[in-house]
Amino acid sequence: MLWYMIKTWADGEEALVKEIRRTVPPYMYQDVFLIFNERNWRHQGQSVIHVEPLFRGCVFLTCQETEPLFRRLERIPAMSRLISAGHLSMFPLMEQDARFLEEISGKDHVVRASYVLRESEESSIYRVSGPLESMMDNIEKIRFSSRIAKIRKMLWGEDVVIPLGFIVNEDIRQKVWYGDMQVTAELPDHYTLLEISKDEDGKNCYRAGSRVAAIPHEGTELPNRGSGLPEERTGRMTVAV
């Protein structure tokens, strides 16, 4: 399967996806989609999980053959105008980039919130699980107050900063809101240890350690929360949690 990225202006991604789905026959491509990211927003002392596009201005498309599809896309008036004005470009992704995106976003094209759990109040050791676990060597900064880990990685030939949402100990104790439902977080079976220390200039340093089994916790299983996306984004019924 071939992966392509269509770059357009920020906030124009969903309109472009709808236009392609409306005008291009389904047999010409496998899927056209955005990659979303679960963010953990703090609101009035509560953790609220919502989704937003991970790569602003980027639409992804998968297909088997390119030439018939390209000819069809060029005939779409809206896309033709954008291409002529220099507001839209389309190019293939390298295999390693496509594999990375598949691994972190899954079949639903949603990067789930990771876990960053502190061993104790005084400890500099954290237990990390989820998408962030495979990118610990690329951590640039972790902001615990806003529940964001900034990852710096080379993608499609560019130096890209990826903001990944995560859940901490406090969120698990208080429970997490998915839409209108408050649920208890489902804790993973394994984690990778992360040590956070400071260098001589006072800058945080992040060092990945070994993979360990989970510590028993009072957390219970999280109900299936679906994709977390509106129906028009996924093309199917979703659970509003």
Q: Phi-psi region for residue 156, left (φ > 0), alpha (ψ -120 to 50) or beta?
A: left
Taking only the tens place, the pLDDT of each residue in 189-202 is 789 999 999 988 88
pLDDT band at 9 (very low <50, low <70, confident <90, very high): confident
Provide the mean pLDDT of the chain: 82
- Which of 90-94, 181-185, 212-216 is predicted least confidently? 181-185
pTM over 0.75: yes
Q: pLDDT value at position 239?
A: 26
Q: pLDDT value at position 219?
A: 42
Q: Cα–Cα distances in Å, from 149 out to 100, 143, 191?
A: 17, 6, 16
- Which of 33-37, 44-48, 160-164, 203-207 is predicted least confidently? 44-48
Q: pLDDT value at position 71?
A: 77
Q: Percent of the chain at pLDDT above 90? A: 46
- Which of 111-125, 140-154, 225-239 is predicted least confidently? 225-239
Q: pLDDT value at position 233?
A: 41
- Which of 60-69, 118-127, 147-156 is predicted least confidently? 60-69
Q: pLDDT value at position 72?
A: 77
Residues 179, 238 contacting (CB under 8 angstroms): no
Q: Percent of the chain at pLDDT above 70? A: 83
Largest CA distance in the chain: 61
Q: What is the distance of C-alpha 109 from the center of its chain?
A: 8
Q: pLDDT value at position 177?
A: 64
Residues 177, 48 contacting (CB under 8 angstroms): yes
Measured CA to CA, the distance from residue 151 to residue 155 in angstroms comes to: 12
pLDDT band at 223 (very low <50, low <70, confident <90, very high): very low
